[in-house]
Amino acid sequence: MKDFAKLFTSQTYGQILVVIEENDKGNPCIRFTTQPKNMGLCSVSMGGSDDSDEVWDKLEEVFDAINQDAAETAISDLYKTLPPTE
């Protein structure tokens, strides 16, 4: 059974959950979820424009290659757009 999720703990961002799944349109995507201080869960995702086997195969390759550095990079812009937590 292939993994569908990875969980990283970052010194900078806390927990980062990475899941390969379907988006609201039924297309494959990789979703990065984190919980900034004083906020609920926040996610960003990347994915294909259709649900073909070719797109799933490519996203599975990308998912397999994601490590903590890649997960931190994927969510870093999200933190730049958040309001101050003070």
Q: Is the pLDDT of residue 8 over 90?
A: yes
Phi, psi of 51 (to 5 degrees): -105, 35
pTM over 0.85: yes
Q: Do the beta carbons of residue 16 and residue 44 sit within 8 Å? A: no
Q: How far, in Å, CA of 21 to CA of 27, rounded?
A: 8
Amino acid 84: pLDDT: 63
Q: How far, in Å, CA of 30 to CA of 17, rounded?
A: 10
Amino acid 83: pLDDT: 66
- Over range 15-24, report the average pLDDT: 95
Using the structure block, give the residue that is written with the tokens 């995507």.
Answer: 29
Q: Do the beta carbons of residue 21 and residue 35 sit within 8 Å? A: no
